[in-house]
A and B are shown apart, each in its own frame.
Chain A
Amino acid sequence: MPEDEACDVVDLSDIRVRIADNDILRDVSLRVPSGEIVALMGPSGCGKTTLLRVITGATAATGIRRVNAKYGVVYQDLKLLPWLSVMDNILLASGSADDSIADARALLYSVGLEEKEHVFPYELSGGERQRVALVRALAGGTKFLLMDEPFSALDFVVRHRLVEQVERLVRGKGISLLFVTHTLEDALALADRILVMKQGQIVGEFANDRRYPDAAELTRDSIVRLFEEGSAQ
């Protein structure tokens, strides 16, 4: 395996975030190897989004933080710009050079939005907007994708298709993915590894080998138990 593929796209150790005497994150260490898909689960307010923001540098933290790949983010609120067309939203960072446009068109095609290039976000459905945000995050050679609850607020069919598209794109291009989700089904369907957070700490880590349905069943049970412990306290 070549050297750059073997290295981790992100390497965090002993990350701590304190805001007004509260530990938002405590002793968090996380490595995501190149090409791996990691799901981040946990109750609301446990620090999942903060962890993503520590990785992007939007939230200041103590500890060691190394990001070794170009990252792209799909935000929970998407942050599509309503005054820019789909194409202009995607080209925000890269500018309108010919190869950027070709790259954007290829990505749009791969998520079935090739006809929507000149359309504005308000003319799109929720699922289409989500895919535009995905394409924008991937444009320009992203190697590490961060997604904050990308599948929430979508109906079952749309959600299922989006999970498939994300997986195809990410695996096809060897991109690493770290995504926050509230839905165990999404985590089990997509992730190689599932991390469970509680009160600012990573309290559980589960390999998710989808070749063995029995193993997935066990993983599911363990995660559910871990969640129940939290709510019983």
Chain B
Amino acid sequence: MLHGRVARGLWFGLGLSLLLGLWEVAARITANPGLFPPIGDVIWAFIVWWRSGLLVEDVAESIPRALLVLALAAPIGMTIGLALALFRPVRWMFDAPLQLLRSMPPVALLPLFVLWMGIEWQAKVFAGVFVCVFPIAITTAQAARTIEMTYRELATDLRLSFATYLRKIVIPGSLPGALPGLRLAAGTSFVMVFVSELAGADAGLGYRISLAQLSFQAALMIAGLLVLGTAGFLTDLALTRMFRRVFQYAGR
């Protein structure tokens, strides 16, 4: 039996070749490279896209926007989450409306934001932030309530001021719990970037994919999707790593 990294690498390679093999077989069976291109075509489309310089342009347009959305949504969502957990009146006032807003499909909100703010980048960022705040707020609130239940008594018995309680107990205790919400939000932010570029743009991954669709370039569409997927995956990985580093104490 193989152990550790080598075994893991081998299994990973096996899984990947299995998926690629299935793809290749499906492409041969359908025998319509225009609609269902084999891997070779997709790789070629990717290389052409890269060489043209448009790939860099598209990535530079879309990815920073997704990250900006996340960077703005995180502090807003965490603050709302803490307020919901700590102040009952806030919870009573805003919990139900929040649940309602959260239940609206993010994509469905976009037309309204476009109507309000046009198709400039501000509209796209605003729409992204608006929908990304909810998962972050809700997971932060849950984590903060657990902290409240565990440590409120301690804070009272030690006669801690509210500021100290917040700074030393609630914030460091709750923020690690925001990670699942942040990961959800990261996924959503990429969805929003993609969709908002369908609504009007002149560059970006979403724009490129929709353009490729209009010109029946399935290979380029798939290449675009793979780039988008990879960016999402790397963001998720970075978030998880960062949280593990910053909040080393979580889970101990």
Chains A and B bind each other: yes
Point out residues on A near B: beta carbons under 8 Å.
53, 56-58, 71-73, 75, 77, 79, 81-84, 88, 92-93, 120-122
Min CB distance B210 to A, Å, is 46
**CA–CA, A71 and B154, complex, Å:** 12
Whether A79 lies near B168 (C-beta < 8 A) is no
Q: Name the prevailing secondary structure of the B interface residues.
A: helix
- The contact of B157 among A71, A120, A122, by CB within 8 Å, is A71
Instruction: Pick the residue among A53, A58, A79 that contacts B150 (CB under 8 A).
Output: A79
Chain A residues lying within 8 Å of B5, measured Cβ to Cβ, are: none
Given A92-B164, A92-B168, A120-B249, does the pair A81, B156 have CB atoms closer than 8 Å?
A: no
CB A148 to nearest CB in B, in angstroms, measures: 11
Nearest-neighbour CB distance to chain B for A87, whole angstroms, equals: 13
- What is the CA–CA distance of A73 and B153 in the complex, to the nearest angstrom? 10
Given A81-B168, A122-B252, verify A92-B173 contact (CB < 8 Å). no
Q: Which residues of B contact A77 (CB under 8 A)?
A: 150
CB distance from A50 to the nearest CB of B (A): 13
Does B23 reach chain A (CB closer than 8 Å)? Answer: no
List, in ascending order, chain B residues with CB within 8 A of A58's CB: 153, 156-157
8 Å CB contacts to A: which residues of B141-191? 150-151, 153-154, 156-160, 164, 168-169, 172-173
Q: Is the CB of B252 within 8 A of A82?
A: yes
Q: List 24 A-B contacts (CB under 8 A).
A: A53-B153, A56-B156, A56-B157, A58-B156, A58-B157, A73-B154, A75-B153, A75-B154, A77-B150, A79-B150, A79-B151, A81-B151, A81-B172, A82-B249, A83-B173, A83-B247, A83-B249, A88-B168, A92-B160, A92-B164, A93-B158, A120-B249, A120-B252, A121-B252
The CA-CA distance from A122 to B172 in the complex, in Å, is 16
**B157 — which chain A residues lie within 8 A by C-beta?**
56, 58, 71-73
Contacts of B154 in A (CB 8 A): 73, 75, 79
Contact A57 B164 (CB under 8 A): no
A88: B residues at CB distance < 8 A = 168
Q: CB-CB < 8 A to A122: which residues of B?
A: 249, 252
Question: Which residue, A75, A88, A93, has most C-beta atoms of chain B within 10 A?
Answer: A93
Choose from A57, A75, A121 the contact partner of B156 (Cβ within 8 Å).
Answer: A57
Give, as a whole number of angstroms, the nearest-CB distance from B221 to chain A. 46
Smallest CB separation, A193 vs chain B (Å)? 24
Chain A, Cβ-Cβ closest to B252? A122
Q: Cα distance A93–B168 when bound, in Å?
A: 10
Q: Are B159 and A93 in contact (CB under 8 A)?
A: yes
Chain B 212-252 residues near chain A, CB threshold 8 A: 247, 249, 252
* Contact residues in A for B164 (Cβ distance below 8 Å): 92
The closest CB in chain B to the CB of A58 belongs to B153
Which of B156, B158, B247: most chain A CB closer than 10 A? B158
CA distance A121 to B252 in the complex (A): 9
Q: Please measure, in the bound complex, the distance between the C-alpha atom of A88 and the C-alpha atom of B247, giving whole angstroms.
A: 17
Q: How far is the CB of B167 from chain A (nearest CB, A)?
A: 11
Bound-state Cα–Cα, A88 to B157, Å: 17
**Inter-chain contacts of B247 with A (CB < 8 A):** 83
Instruction: With both chains docked as a complex, state the minimum distance between the C-beta of A147 and any C-beta of chain B, in angstroms.
Output: 12
Closest to A53 in B: B153
Known: A79-B150, A84-B168. A93 touches B252 (CB 8 A): no
Determine if B160 and A93 form an interchain contact, defined as CB atoms under 8 angstroms apart: yes
CA distance A225 to B201 in the complex (A): 84
Q: A residues within 8 A CB of B252?
A: 82, 120-122
Closest to A73 in B: B157
